[in-house]
Copies of this chain bind each other. A is one copy, B any other.
Amino acid sequence: MRKLRLYLLLFTGGLLTACQTEQLPTQQEIAPGVIKLQAGEIDTYTPYALFGGKPALEAMKQLPTAELPFSPDEVRIQVKDRGCMVEVPLADDEQLYGFGLQIETFGQRGMRKRPIVNDNPLNGLGYTHAPQTFYVSTKGYGILVNTARYTTFLCGSNQKKQQNLQDAEGRKKIATTTEDLYKNRSNGNKVYIDIPGAKGIEVFVITGPEILDVVKRYNLLSGGGCLPPMWGLGFKYRVKGDAVQDSVIRFADYFREKQIPCDVLGLEPGWQTAAYSCSYIWSEERFPKHKEMLDQLKQKGYKVNLWEHAYVHPSSPIRKDMEPYSGDFLVWNGLVPDFLTPEARKIFSDYHRTLVEEGISGFKLDECDNSNISYASATWCFPDAAQFPSGIDGEQMHQIFGSLYVNTIDSIYREMNTRAYQDYRSSGMFMSSRNAVLYSDTYDHKEYIQALCNSAFGGLLWCPEVREAHSAEDFFHRLQTVILSPQAMVNAWYLQYAPWLQFDRGKNERGEFLPEAQEYEAYACTLINLRMQLIPYIYNAFYAYYKEGIPPFRPLLMDYPKDKRLRDISNQYMIGDGLMAAPLYENKKSRTVYFPEGTWYNFNTNEKYEGNKEYEINTEFDQLPLYVRQGTLLPLSEPVPYVDPQTVFNLHCKVYGTPTASCQLLEDDGISYNFKKGEYNIVTLEADKGEVKLKRTKEGDLKRYQLSGYEFIN
């Protein structure tokens, strides 16, 4: 049912120039509330075709229907010689969010955004570890351009000449600063989307009515959010890059002896005989008996995670087999597997299965992004013009490489009916259901908090990891934030000792501990124990992510779409439905916290705050900058040193500002995908008449939770 219109572009004044075809896009509802517009010839590899998965149709049907603020007919698609141009209406009072893991900006209106995969975001242009050609609007809809091509979004930053001639007076004030000269005075009434090279395009219009509904639909469209293994919600520590077998064991013993909870130890490049590029062979020099070590770690309750990247070293056992299924350019002399071919995926996953079977619980997939630095690091950027056996070019491969890579590894675990929880440095669209967390080297704490907010718009998980610091404030504020994130990880890949003993990198290397080392160790231990207390609550937030598509960590505006003050707040976020985090940063002992409507409680002190107001609040190093919504029943677990399938969580429930409240918890084995087959209970905690009771949907062997106490806070 494709209609074609032939346009003659007539320029005012009678100049006749080019003729071009504008195609009236076809429209199709591909899932409840998701309309696909399509024009022209679609690329072989699109994010949705590759990663879209199976929509969770039943859950999508439960969502309210919504009117769009414009008709889908008003979304214009032009297929031109240069590529495709999409135009989407934009209202005056509309704000936009999204484009993947943006770390520099939050509201995107008035900006030119280029969500292109990169390790080093710059000038707010949109370069990111996880690019998404997808934005959501405060008007309650989302626009997703289903392409792996480098795409530019002009978010009301530019105006066409037909649109705006009113400012006839111009600026009379003469600016004498650059800022003043160049400030953005545009308020265009369109989003223009430029997709060079595309011969056709699919645009998904995702309906609301509110932003949270749009995000839910987006997550459900690829099957719903992920559910990490329960141990993944504990604490992870990555040891130094050149660690050897003995030093790893020393770290393992350190945590247990000091009673600092730790679930996962991560090994960095040194486990391999060659890194940059990778051999994927255990180094006998540094790990003479790695199997023995893995057994010891398992007995001590640890999971083990291995660093690698995808570039296959000449000495790797899979090098020869991978040769025909790799791109035509090398990276660090390593082959770049074409994970679009089943052969490359098989070779890679067959080999890695052996590592998994030896006891590896997940991998850290490094440098699967790209870099826009010319100098040193150009080497890990295979060219945009590279060619791959599957027929894709380097540009499009870059945008999806991280997703293909993590899926290849994840498939090993899925086949084994085991949930992994991996680290990866690049993601993209339709990855909501993947058990993997993004990380970065950029290390600006304020931006890391903002990234946590932005990750929610596109089904991404983000670890605002902590390493070294320049002060105790800097260190503990970072640790507090990472504790209140999808993955509580310290990534000490260049630190000899735990950073709470010495957060200065040079002094840490030399073993010069801080005078306060013991005190700080105790603070860190307290914070990590608080994380362990929150595991049941966070696990259940993930269950809502899986089942309903609700991001477990999300900006406040998703929960309070009518509160316009929240449009700019990207340094506070919700965790599940009852908790709000407001991390400290910039070395200040206190910060201003804005509370949306209702009444809120300080998690540490039980102090009460009224909504629609700001408060200046102090948080100590060993406290969490965490607030509880009135009406919440918060189940806190007695901390355990690590989580295993036998762990039973003893719950102490805190009921905030209400006599009646309830809370549900997913009770399953915590490690397999059996929950998808119905092998779970729902545990309900109910407060009523001054007491809290625990019920479960069915009684049986599966008992992860038991009630150990409760209190009512008013």
Return the contact of A374 from the options B112, B273, B373, B381 (Cβ within 8 A): B112
* Residues from chain B with Cβ under 8 Å of A45 in the complex: none
* Given A164-B330, A314-B165, A378-B184: A152 touches B494 (CB 8 Å cut-off): no
A654 CB within 8 Å of chain B? no
* Given A159-B333, A185-B332, A383-B194: A176 touches B275 (CB 8 Å cut-off): no
Q: A326 CA to B493 CA in the complex, in Å?
A: 55
B161 touches A17 (CB 8 A): no
Instruction: Using C-beta atoms within 8 Å of the partner chain, give the interface range for chain A.
Output: 35 or more
Interface 1/0s, chain A 331-345, versus B by CB < 8 A?
A: 011010000010100
A170 touches B17 (CB 8 A): no
* Given A168-B314, A177-B494: A182 touches B377 (CB 8 Å cut-off): yes
- Tell me the residues in window 480-512 of chain A with beta carbons closer than 8 Å to chain B beta carbons: 493-494
Query: Across the two chains, which residue of chain B brings its CB closest to A384?
Result: B194
A184 touches B123 (CB 8 A): no
B274 touches A171 (CB 8 A): yes
Q: A260 CA to B9 CA in the complex, in Å?
A: 57
A17 touches B389 (CB 8 A): yes
B13 touches A325 (CB 8 A): yes
Query: Across the two chains, which residue of chain B brings its CB closest to A82?
Result: B393
Number of copies of this kind of chain in the complex = 2
A240 CB within 8 Å of chain B? yes
A335 touches B161 (CB 8 A): yes
* Residues from chain B with Cβ under 8 Å of A372 in the complex: 122-123, 125
- Tell me the residues in window 157-197 of chain A with beta carbons closer than 8 Å to chain B beta carbons: 157-161, 163-165, 167-172, 174-179, 181-186, 192, 194, 196-197
A176 touches B85 (CB 8 A): no
B378 touches A186 (CB 8 A): yes
A378 touches B196 (CB 8 A): no
A-B contact list, 11 entries, CB within 8 Å: A9-B387, A12-B324, A18-B387, A82-B197, A83-B197, A152-B385, A158-B381, A158-B382, A174-B270, A176-B240, A184-B378
Interface 1/0s, chain A 274-304, versus B by CB < 8 A?
A: 1111010000000000000000000000000
A15 touches B325 (CB 8 A): yes
Q: A184 CA to B380 CA in the complex, in Å?
A: 9
Query: Across the two chains, which residue of chain B brings its CB closest to A335?
Result: B161
A441 CB within 8 Å of chain B? yes
A390 CB within 8 Å of chain B? yes
A208 CB within 8 Å of chain B? no
A313 CB within 8 Å of chain B? yes
* Residues from chain B with Cβ under 8 Å of A169 in the complex: 274, 315
- Tell me the residues in window 521-546 of chain A with beta carbons closer than 8 Å to chain B beta carbons: none
Interface 1/0s, chain A 3-38, versus B by CB < 8 A?
A: 000000101111101100000000000000000000
A40 CB within 8 Å of chain B? no
B123 touches A373 (CB 8 A): yes
A418 CB within 8 Å of chain B? no
Return the contact of A242 from the options B17, B113, B174, B314 (Cβ within 8 A): B174
* Residues from chain B with Cβ under 8 Å of A82 in the complex: 197, 385, 393, 395
Return the contact of A174 from the options B161, B275, B378 (Cβ within 8 A): B275
* Residues from chain B with Cβ under 8 Å of A327 in the complex: 161
A631 CB within 8 Å of chain B? no
A269 CB within 8 Å of chain B? yes
* Residues from chain B with Cβ under 8 Å of A343 in the complex: 15
Return the contact of A157 from the options B159, B328, B379 (Cβ within 8 A): B379
A359 CB within 8 Å of chain B? no
A306 CB within 8 Å of chain B? no
Query: Across the two chains, which residue of chain B brings its CB closest to A125?
Result: B374
Q: A487 CA to B393 CA in the complex, in Å?
A: 46
Q: Min CB distance, A325 to chain B, in Å? A: 7
Return the contact of A276 from the options B111, B124, B168, B181 (Cβ within 8 A): B181
A110 CB within 8 Å of chain B? yes
Beyond A11-B389, A176-B240, 6 additional contacts (C-beta under 8 Å) are A11-B324, A15-B324, A18-B391, A83-B385, A123-B374, A176-B241
* Residues from chain B with Cβ under 8 Å of A349 in the complex: none
Q: Min CB distance, A633 to chain B, in Å? A: 43
* Residues from chain B with Cβ under 8 Å of A474 in the complex: none
B105 touches A182 (CB 8 A): no
Residue with the greatest number of chain B CB neighbours at <10 A, chosen from A112, A157, A183, A197: A112
B330 touches A277 (CB 8 A): no
A383 touches B192 (CB 8 A): yes
* Residues from chain B with Cβ under 8 Å of A332 in the complex: 185
* Residues from chain B with Cβ under 8 Å of A160 in the complex: 328-330
Residue with the greatest number of chain B CB neighbours at <10 A, chosen from A13, A182, A186, A323: A182
B324 touches A14 (CB 8 A): yes
A175 touches B269 (CB 8 A): yes
* Residues from chain B with Cβ under 8 Å of A175 in the complex: 241, 269, 276
Return the contact of A184 from the options B18, B375, B393 (Cβ within 8 A): B375
Interface 1/0s, chain A 252-270, versus B by CB < 8 A?
A: 0000000000000000111
A555 CB within 8 Å of chain B? no
A154 CB within 8 Å of chain B? yes
Interface 1/0s, chain A 104-136, versus B by CB < 8 A?
A: 010000111100000010111110000000000
Q: Min CB distance, A405 to chain B, in Å? A: 18
* Residues from chain B with Cβ under 8 Å of A324 in the complex: 11-15
A376 CB within 8 Å of chain B? yes
- Tell me the residues in window 368-424 of chain A with beta carbons closer than 8 Å to chain B beta carbons: 371-385, 387, 389-391, 393, 395
Return the contact of A197 from the options B197, B274, B329, B494 (Cβ within 8 A): B197
